[in-house]
Amino acid sequence: MPRFDDLKLKFGDVITPSWYDKLVNHLDYLDKSSGEDVYYNITPVTDLQLNLGLPLRRWREVHAGYGYFTYAISVGDLFLKHWDIKETPDLLIFKRKRNGREFKIGV
């Protein structure tokens, strides 16, 4: 792993080809280390201990086969805590718990 200290310059230092090579190596490392392949389960030590992202540091996309959530899901203005969700081969059905009203989306 390149060290940032290797790139520090003092006032008046000349940028040499070797310094430039270190900079390129450092930037290459940062570019390649921006993600990690995971080949195992990611499990917190205790229940409800860790967050994935923050309100101002969000994941852009999440691709998954299934999702299991204990409490509620908020998608934009839609708060799914008050809805039952049922999936059929060609429909996704949202049923409001309070009044039984259903919304069907073709999939």
pLDDT per 10-residue tile (average), the chain, 107 residues: 73 86 80 67 83 84 78 72 82 85 84
| Under 8 Å between Cβ of 82 and 98 | yes
- Could you give the 3-state DSSP secondary structure of residue 79? strand
Residue 12 inside a domain? The answer is no
Which residue type occupies 79? F
- Output the pLDDT for position 31: 65
- Output the pLDDT for position 60: 81
Instruction: Give the chain's largest Cα–Cα span.
Output: 74
Residue 83 inside a domain? The answer is yes
Residue 47 inside a domain? The answer is no
Structure tokens at 17: 């080809």
- Output the pLDDT for position 48: 85
**pTM of this prediction?**
0.37
Overall domain count for the chain? 1
